[in-house]
Structure 1
Amino acid sequence: MSRPITLTFDNGPTTAVTPHVLDVLARYGIRTTFFVLGQNLMSRETMALAQRAAEQGHWIGNHTYTHDVPLGETTDPDAPLKEIGRTQDLIGRLAHPDRLFRPFGGGGVLGTHLLSPEAFELLKTNRYTCVFWNSIPRDWEDPDGWVETALAQARRLEWALTVLHDYETGAMRNLEAYLDKALAEGFTFRQEFPPDCVPMVRGRSVLPMEAFIAASRTTLSPQET
């Protein structure tokens, strides 16, 4: 029985790379999810790319506004609204009905740095679906070697959720080669996410979330110290 791969693309859209990615996916008949950065939706050209992706059947998800600091490491209590809320407003009607959100992992690492307590509350209150990952081939770091890494990771998994990036590293020039090799090995591509990578669905925790939420930060007054 063939094993599935779910492809997702983070950190776009960009005028230099996203059109190529969309062209390739269209030729192969593969639908994915684009987890976009809010700051990359600020021009007419990049917003048009997000619109094109949605029209071609891809899902549009939220990947924070700036992608600067993992939410679990920020000391700004308003960061979730600035990073998640502002981006969701920009995505607007292009949003998937499940309000898909992927936190910034700081290199694809899972841990308590992903979410602050405030971010978790915002996701819960506003009924977001939180989408993680289990395959990080680090295409941004290894533009020519990521294909073999991604395939090796997928071979070890029952269902891979692979994170790629549609921005200027040169990695996506190898997207067709990756798809050809994966299909030749018998992998299939699907748009849905493996359940073990989706710990929150529409604001409800369906898997334990404690391992992804930083401890509360309490600032004591001088009288309390």
Structure 2
Amino acid sequence: MYDLTLTFDNGPDPVVTPRVLDILGARGLKTTFFVIGEKLADPERRALAVRAHGEGHWIGNHTFKHSIPLGEQPDRDAATDEIGRTQAAIGDLAHPQRWFRPFGGGGNLDARLLKPSVVDHLVRNAHSCVLWNAIPRDWDDPDGWTERALDQCSRQPWTLLVLHDLPTGAMDHLERFLDRAEANGARFRQDFPPQCVPIRNGAIALPIQDYVSCIEESNRP
């Protein structure tokens, strides 16, 4: 048996997110949706975040544009632009712990994730930084990710899995994955493994130097 926390990144999507919510709702599962800030400007997508929140899911911050990892952005205002604007867009849907997940540029856990000014922003604004310990690359292999995910789950006592509610076809296999995970002894939960939350409520709880770049920052002209 093992514990499994599901998370969904890069939405909301008007086609895929409703189906994901229906599947989770039918099973009584609660997760976190780490949303892209600019997508919430669309009323239909914003309504999906409202629906997810109303059904007991947590809404997290996954940057505003999701274009360049924060640790690779030289602009000193990147934290305000990418994290601050998204948090404002999330508004009253935010969890009290202000969940933030950085963009890894393909699931990488390295210095691309953060930079000193981003860490300062997270601490100053009492965010909690949520990483991961399983990336089955569903965006890259929409038909084959389930086997990889099940293998990753079987190798550790508590998995924080990153999936994507995007129109790739990957979520066509979500029900099958959940069935097999449950048959393998998965205990679904909504909270996060402590080792995947190096910053909690603005306090640095674990060493973060491996996730922070030394990029030279500049003020915007």
**TM-score calculated relative to the size of structure 1:** 0.95
Question: Counterparts of 1:116 and 1:81 in 2: how far apart (Å)?
Answer: 13
Match of 1:55 in 2: 54
Displacement of 1:97 after TM fit?
0.2
Q: How many residue pairs get matched?
A: 218
Match of 2:133 in 1: 134
The answer as to 2:72 corresponding to 1:76 is: no
Displacement of 1:147 after TM fit?
0.5
Question: Counterparts of 1:216 and 1:121 in 2: how far apart (Å)?
Answer: 15
Match of 1:187 in 2: 186
SS at 2:150 equivalent: helix
Runs of 4+ with deviation above 6 angstroms:
none
The one-letter amino acid of 1:133's match is W
The answer as to 2:55 corresponding to 1:64 is: no
Q: 1:157 to 1:218 in 2, by over 3 A?
A: same
The worse-fitting range, judged by mean Cα deviation, of 111-120 and 95-104 is 111-120
Match of 2:9 in 1: 10
2:142–2:168 CA contact under 8 A, matched in 1: yes
The one-letter amino acid of 1:183's match is E
Higher radius of gyration, 1 or 2: 1
SS at 2:30 equivalent: coil
Please list every run of 5 or more consecutive structure 1 residues that lacks an aligned counterpart in the other structure: 220-225
The one-letter amino acid of 2:38's match is Q
SS at 1:35 equivalent: strand
- Written as runs of structure 1 = structure 2, the 5 A alignment for 1:115-126 is 115-126=114-125
SS at 2:34 equivalent: strand
The one-letter amino acid of 1:60's match is I
2:6–2:31 CA contact under 8 A, matched in 1: yes
Question: Counterparts of 2:22 and 2:217 in 1: how far apart (Å)?
Answer: 49
Question: Counterparts of 2:207 and 2:16 in 1: how far apart (Å)?
Answer: 36
Displacement of 1:176 after TM fit?
0.2
Question: Counterparts of 1:126 and 1:166 in 2: how far apart (Å)?
Answer: 27
Match of 1:102 in 2: 101
Question: Counterparts of 2:114 and 2:170 in 1: how far apart (Å)?
Answer: 28
Question: Counterparts of 1:161 and 1:131 in 2: how far apart (Å)?
Answer: 10
Match of 1:143 in 2: 142
Displacement of 1:158 after TM fit?
1.1
SS at 2:33 equivalent: strand
CA deviation string 1:105-137 (max 9, x = no partner): 001010111011111100010000000000000
CA deviation string 1:176-199 (max 9, x = no partner): 000000001111110000011000
Question: Counterparts of 2:162 and 2:156 in 1: how far apart (Å)?
Answer: 14
Displacement of 1:206 after TM fit?
0.6
**TM-score calculated relative to the size of structure 2:** 0.97
SS at 2:7 equivalent: strand
SS at 1:161 equivalent: strand
Displacement of 1:216 after TM fit?
4.7
CA deviation string 1:23-58 (max 9, x = no partner): 000011110000000011011110000000000000
Match of 2:171 in 1: 172
Displacement of 1:170 after TM fit?
0.5
The worse-fitting range, judged by mean Cα deviation, of 108-117 and 81-90 is 108-117
2:128–2:200 CA contact under 8 A, matched in 1: yes
The one-letter amino acid of 2:176's match is A
Cα RMSD, aligned residues only: 0.9
Paired-residue identity, %: 55
SS at 1:7 equivalent: strand
